[in-house]
Amino acid sequence: MNMPSHPETPDEIRQEWHEFATDLRRAARATELAEKYEREADRPPETMRPFRERMAALHRRMAARHFASARLHRLHAMRLQRWHDAEHAGLRPVFLAAAAARLRMDDVSVALFDHDHHELLVATSGPTARAAHDIELTFGEGPARDALYSPTPLLVAAGGMARRWPHYGPAVAALGVRAVMATPLPTPIGRYGTLCGFTVDSTADPSTAAVDQIADAIALNIGLTVWEAGIPLNDADPAEPDPLTAVNLAVGMIAAQYGCSADAALSVLRAQAYAEDRTVTDLARHLVGDAAERPGTDSMSDDR
């Protein structure tokens, strides 16, 4: 397949078209195998029918996942090309912005958690998703955490946000968000990731099939290309320290200072952030930066 690429095309765009073509090939191969098992389902021996039907369904799901991933790479490549053609006017497009567009959401975020459901990594497509994540981290409630325990995608709109999340809901509504979508990411080690979407449209209602396909595609890219290949997934400034690293460092400092557990230290951090009307990540960066500038001082004291 010929991709719309030219000698002067930047490497990052070439890479996106390469991923697009690769996903199309994998989708075609999975479709061929699904059709093969479907054709052979009625062949003897009869005892093989359940196996062939399972394999056909498996390869159909794999084909759908690769087709969804191909569409994301195609959309991202086209957006990157327009950005380069406009001589880098505006913000650089990020991969997750393509997922947001496919879901008809204004912004999306992806979070990964460990076995104890402590957050390990977050990526966002824009400022609204980043602010919503900070709010969820501050209050310890919100869609990313709920989606870990939900067998189906969540969609909460308008007044339902405040009823479901008494602290998070009003705070996110203040950002202009009128509907929140969340679903677990299917990872090889279980449901330890979530995809969340945010929109100003209170009538937004993405289909379950579309959400599942995009979640599958993002999970596929997380495992195969995005972080391993260093493809920018989110809108974070690379010059800024990782917010979760700052939070973990601050939690460690508080735990050492008060001789408490990490969970208790996180509760202290959240309480102080709430009292000072700031996000957990903002306070954590302040505490870590303050400790670096004044080693040996009590970072949580009142005279900071």
| Cα gap 155→57, rounded to integer Å | 27
pLDDT at 69: 85
Q: What is the pLDDT of residues 63-77, one digit of tens each?
A: 888 888 898 889 889
- Domain boundary among the residues 35, 57, 86 is at 86
φ and ψ at 277, to 5 degrees? 55, 50
Q: Where are the beta strands (DSSP E) in 117-245?
A: 119-124, 154-157, 179-187, 190-199
Structural domain contains residue 232: no
pLDDT at 236: 53
Q: Cβ atoms within 10 A of the Cβ of 155, count?
A: 18
Residue 122's DSSP bridge partners are 111
Domain around 252: 243-292
Q: What is the pLDDT of residues 165-189, one digit of tens each?
A: 999 999 999 999 999 999 998 765 5
Task: Return the axis-axis angle of helices 127-139 and 262-275, rounded to nearest 10°.
Answer: 120
Instruction: Tell me, yes or no, whether 73 and 109 share the same domain.
Output: no
Task: Return the axis-axis angle of helices 243-258 and 280-293, rounded to nearest 10°.
Answer: 70
Instruction: Tell me, yes or no, whether 180 and 259 share the same domain.
Output: no
| Cα gap 181→173, rounded to integer Å | 14
Among 176, 154, 151, smallest CA distance to 164 is for 154
| Cα gap 219→223, rounded to integer Å | 6
> What CATH number does the domain containing 199 carry?
3.30.450.40
- Domain boundary among the residues 39, 60, 86 is at 86
Higher-pLDDT residue of 103, 240: 103
Residue 227 has pLDDT above 50, yes or no: no
Name the pTM for this structure.
Answer: 0.67
| Cα gap 238→230, rounded to integer Å | 12
pLDDT at 207: 85
